[in-house]
Amino acid sequence: VALIASPFVLLTHFLVTPPAAPFWAGLPQGLFLLAAGVYGLWYSVRYRRNEELAEAALKLPGFAPADSGPARPDGKYSVKASAAGTDVWLCATDISRRHGPRRLDLEIACRADNPGGVRLAAYPEGVFNRPLRSLPPVSGPVPYWDWYTVRSEPAGAAEKYLPAAKKDGVRSVFGERCGFRFLVLEGDRLVCSFRIEGGLSRGLLSEIVDQAARLAVSIR
């Protein structure tokens, strides 16, 4: 509401304010409404709980609602659990089109010990598939990761940790079957992103959580 009202308040300020009144009369109210509207829109997009994810996750053992919010410990994530011996957090955004199939962007973050400060990234080849964040340098070829751009620091880290995540072929979630978009390891968090087509089932979610968590646990 604030985002819609702010242009009218600002327009009224410039058109209706008496010439003798100070230039800034009414301007703070309009700017405040504009800022409040932008913040409200950002908040609703970033912290809104996706019901499809919540319904699937809360039926799995060990999952619970996260303590979400801009100043809360779980940040943007809406559900959390412990899997494969580590903590995991999940959030999702519905990106379905009105007349298209159901599509969901799913993000999972897993705690990784990462004592060596390793940095990793992997995503399908192509400039438009690159995650919009700071990434380590491109590494050499990595087994099982053909047609993917793989980055690591130090240089041999990707070859040490990533092959096991895809060696099971089609059973790996890090591929087209599960809409794998990217993974990034930075500090003590491994973040993986998937684009789910046609609905999120408990079975698929369980696979993603298990394999992402096991990859995070292997980085020690």
pLDDT digit string, tens, across residues 182-198? 999 999 999 999 999 99
CA angle 172, 178, 182 (to 5 degrees): 85
d(CA 108, CA 36): 29
Cβ count within 10 A of residue 171: 11
Categorize the per-residue pLDDT at 29 as very low, low, confident or very high, splitting at 50, 70 and 90.
low
The H-assigned helical ranges of the chain are: 2-16, 27-47, 51-57, 157-161, 163-166, 202-218
In the predicted model, is pLDDT for residue 116 greater than 50? Answer: yes
Residues 160-172, mean pLDDT to the nearest whole number? 94
Q: How do residues 38-90 score in pLDDT, each as one tens digit?
A: 433 334 444 567 999 999 999 999 999 999 988 899 999 999 999 999 999 99
d(CA 160, CA 179): 24
